[in-house]
Homo-oligomer: A and B are copies of this chain.
Amino acid sequence: MTAPALDLTADVLTLTRALVDVPSVSGTEEPLADLVEAALRALGGLEVVRIGNNVLARTDLGRDTRVVLAGHLDTVPIADNVPSRLETVDGEERLYGCGTSDMKAGDALMLRVAGLLGTPDAAPARDLTFVFYDNEEVEAVKNGLGQVARELRGWLYGDLAILLEPTDGDVEGGCQGTMRVVLTVPGERAHSARSWLGRNAIHGASSILAVLDAYEAREVEIDGLQFREGLNAVRIEGGVAGNVVPDECRVTVNFRFAPDRDEDAAEAHVRAVFADALAAGANLEVTDMSGGALPGLAEPAAADFVAAVGRPARAKLGWTDVARFAAFGIPAVNYGPGDPNQAHQRGEHVRVDRLQPAEDALVAYLTAPTSTGETA
């Protein structure tokens, strides 16, 4: 059973449905990547490259600015929610299905833009790069955008990167960083009937939990956006047997930090927060670190985009692949028609009335004269 070719002249709802109806759970993106590649090649106005199941395409019109549009093709596992179906709930027309919100509606928007502006006779105001990538929903090491950054880094450069992740049609600038540390509290084993011969590591973790419980997370404004941090225990484990004073307790803490802290500053902050516990013998190991991304909305290409969308921008609190662009100094924003709260839900859906306006704003931005003469 081969899925029909994608018709990039169809409206964005039709295109979203076509994408949803080709399953592409992480690791199985090949059939969908094939369809996307073929459709982009057929346009005739794009240079198209493929590595693995990542499909890249770009114009080369010598424009002053270049905008990169990026979206992942994969979804979380299907939960009885493919093929897509249209339903009206509380007077609201919705398209249900795995990936509708996260993020095939965004991919459909990218394909619509390609269909309109990627033909030989089109005349976008900015050069365009399209990056469709795989394996976003699984371990970071498999992430297709990471592969592109390593192997075809030049393809990611631009004056602005727009990641079509679900944002409910708002512009979300930058993203917060995330790090995980494991705090290990030592103790000494003893039989619990003679507990004074040992030292209880779980009791020893008391001060760590007290610090977490009392922690006041910082809020900070960056480029006019409000970022709000968070420091949370996400796991705790300790215990040997029901009659043994335990000699180890491990607390895993996740720190979400605003992008005005870099990775070193984030670690220094966490070490300072737990200074007493560390002085008392606890050990801290950083197990996971992904730096954040400054919103960069002061950059002209980004400011133009926010103006074109016409709604106030807000900070992105979760970590997203925009950070991969930010690592190259490229302003990057999240902007997609999906509802982030719908991501990964069995009842995942996208509001139909969000699709066309999102396309219109994006196309308006890409075709309007640029506000400055900055060069790529």
Contacts and interface: CB of A to CB of B under 8 A. Distances in A.
Interface in A184-219: 191-196, 200, 202-206, 209-210, 212-213, 217
Contacts of A180: 242
30 contacts: A178-B192, A178-B243, A191-B318, A193-B230, A193-B256, A193-B318, A196-B228, A196-B230, A200-B212, A200-B233, A202-B209, A202-B232, A202-B234, A202-B236, A202-B251, A204-B213, A205-B209, A205-B236, A206-B210, A209-B209, A232-B245, A233-B239, A234-B240, A234-B243, A235-B239, A236-B238, A237-B238, A237-B239, A242-B288, A243-B254
B212 A206 contact: yes
Contacts of A212: 200, 202-203, 206
Given A193-B318, A200-B212, A244 B234 contact: yes
A279 interface: no
Contacts of A243: 178, 234, 254
A192 B256 contact: yes
A249 interface: yes
Interface in A234-269: 234-246, 249, 251-252, 254, 256
Number of chain copies forming the complex: 2
> Which interface residue of A191, A210, A212, A235 has the most chain B CB atoms within 10 A?
A235
A157 interface: no
A170 to B, nearest CB: 15
A319 interface: yes
A203 B193 contact: no
> Which interface residue of A200, A206, A237, A288 has the most chain B CB atoms within 10 A?
A206
B203 A206 contact: no
Contact of A242 (B217, B238, B252, B317): B252
